[in-house]
């Protein structure tokens, strides 16, 4: 039977990097709702045009929009690692229903805990290569040499908005999943390799 792992954590917690590493280790398909929305925006699709202003302002797009993107991924089958969904208790309930309808087991949820100061420092330094993804370099991609980009929603004021939305809307998810006995909290500070090992300890092979 297919399974679903959820990775939670504040913006800048290293979720994307850890998700890629865990997906490789555990043979899961990495589904990032942020990446899906950014590629809709980049392609100029109707959906992309509808959500662009919201995403760039660091606010949450409507639940139905992300639920539809995730449902389409569930319907393709295979074990999934969800990164960036659910972000609210309402979305967690939707995910529960989507999994129930497909007779998938309840998700295993891993939450990364990182201090706010570290999050702000990491986001200010975050750069992404359009082809190779996030990295620690300053200007050019260490793999392909392309110029690195910053995300519009990593601007300082927008980061503050995203952190306050995280505190108000996503933190309550921890209590929700803890009450269901599905939550493991992992220390997200320190070197990415150390964090990856801590995550692997709580995600069965
Ligand atoms: P991320 O890459 O996960 O930081 O997501 C970037 C942006 O995409 C967020 O700030 C939201 O605008 C939007 N987004 C991603 N996932 C969701 C979600 N589950 N619910 C609502 N908005 C989302």
Report the nearest atom of ligand 1 relative to the CA of 85: 19
Q: What is the pTM of this model?
A: 0.88
Residues with a CB atom less than 6 Å from ligand 1? 11, 33-34, 37, 54-55, 58-61, 66, 84-85, 87, 91, 153, 162
If residue 74 lies in a helix (H) or strand (E), which one and from where to where? helix 63-75
Closest CA to 24 of 125, 133, 130: 133
- By C-alpha distance, which of 144, 148, 142 is closest to 128? 148
Pull the structure tokens for residue 56: 């760039």
Q: Is the dihedral of CA 31, 52, 146, 12 positive or negative?
A: negative
CB 2 within 8 A of CB 104: yes
At 137 the pLDDT is 66
Q: Who's near 115: CB < 8 A, 6+ residues apart?
A: 189
Residues 6+ apart with CB under 8 A from 63: 88, 90, 91, 94
Report pLDDT for 115: 87
Which phi and psi (to 5°) does residue 109 adopt? -115, 125
Q: What is the mean pLDDT of each run of 10 residues along the chain (205 residues)?
A: 91 90 95 94 96 95 96 94 96 97 95 87 82 78 89 82 92 95 95 95 92
pLDDT computed for residue 11 by the predictor: 87
From 11, 55, 95, 109, mutation site for ligand 1 pocket: most ligand atoms within 8 A of C-beta: 55
Q: Residue 12's pLDDT is what?
A: 84
């Amino acid at each position: 039977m297919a399974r679903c792992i959820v990775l939670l954590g504040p913006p800048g917690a290293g979720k994307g990097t850890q998700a890629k590493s865990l997906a490789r280790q555990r043979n899961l398909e990495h589904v990032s709702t942020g990446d899906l929305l950014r590629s809709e925006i980049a392609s100029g699709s109707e959906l992309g045009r509808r959500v662009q202003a919201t995403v760039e302002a660091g606010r949450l797009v409507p639940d139905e929009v992300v639920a539809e993107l995730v449902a389409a991924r569930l319907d393709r089958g295979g074990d999934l690692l969800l990164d960036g969904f659910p972000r609210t208790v309402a979305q967690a309930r939707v995910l529960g229903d989507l999994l129930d309808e497909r007779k998938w087991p309840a998700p295993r949820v891993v939450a990364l805990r990182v201090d706010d100061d570290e999050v702000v420092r990491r986001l200010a330094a975050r750069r992404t290569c359009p082809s190779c993804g996030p990295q620690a370099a300053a200007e050019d991609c260490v793999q392909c040499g392309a110029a690195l980009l910053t995300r519009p929603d990593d601007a300082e004021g927008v980061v503050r908005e995203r952190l306050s939305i995280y505190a108000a809307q996503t933190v309550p998810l921890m209590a929700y999943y803890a009450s269901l006995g599905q939550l493991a909290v992992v220390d997200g500070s320190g070197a990415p390799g150390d964090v990856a090992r801590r995550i692997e300890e709580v995600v069965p092979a």
